[in-house]
């Protein structure tokens, strides 16, 4: 089994697009109910965004759309 440092060193050698794909794949291993602490700056930003959604000044874009557009910009197409 590979250790953290060797995996990190290998990841550093990936292209930017492959790094983003790796992040996407790793994020899928995190359970949805994981208790991940937020950085102190995120709280006010989340509150601002929720307020904008609630008052209708902001709309959302489905993750599938955002992901497909990002991968298309990187020239990868759908990888899953």
In the numeric block, which tokens belong to residue 67? Answer: 């992901």
In this prediction, residue 38 carries a pLDDT of 85
Q: What is the mean pLDDT of the chain?
A: 91
> Whole-prediction pTM value?
0.49
Domain match, 62 and 28 both: no
Report the candidate in 45, 68, 50 with the shortest Cα–Cα distance to residue 60.
50
Is the pLDDT at 78 greater than 70? The verdict is no
Domain match, 46 and 66 both: yes
In the numeric block, which tokens belong to residue 44? Answer: 């006010």
Domain match, 41 and 30 both: no
Percent of the residues in the chain that have a pLDDT greater than 70, as a whole number: 95
Domain match, 27 and 41 both: no
Domain match, 47 and 20 both: no
What is the domain extent for residue 50? 37-80
Domain match, 49 and 20 both: no
Percent of the residues in the chain that have a pLDDT greater than 90, as a whole number: 79
């Amino acid at each position: 089994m590979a250790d953290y440092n060797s995996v990190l060193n290998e990841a550093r050698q990936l292209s930017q697009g492959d790094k983003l794909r790796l992040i996407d794949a790793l994020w899928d291993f995190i359970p949805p109910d994981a208790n991940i602490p937020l950085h102190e700056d995120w709280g006010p930003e989340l509150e601002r965004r929720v307020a904008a959604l609630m008052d209708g000044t902001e709309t959302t874009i489905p993750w599938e759309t955002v992901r497909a557009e990002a991968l298309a910009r990187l020239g990868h197409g759908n990888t899953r």
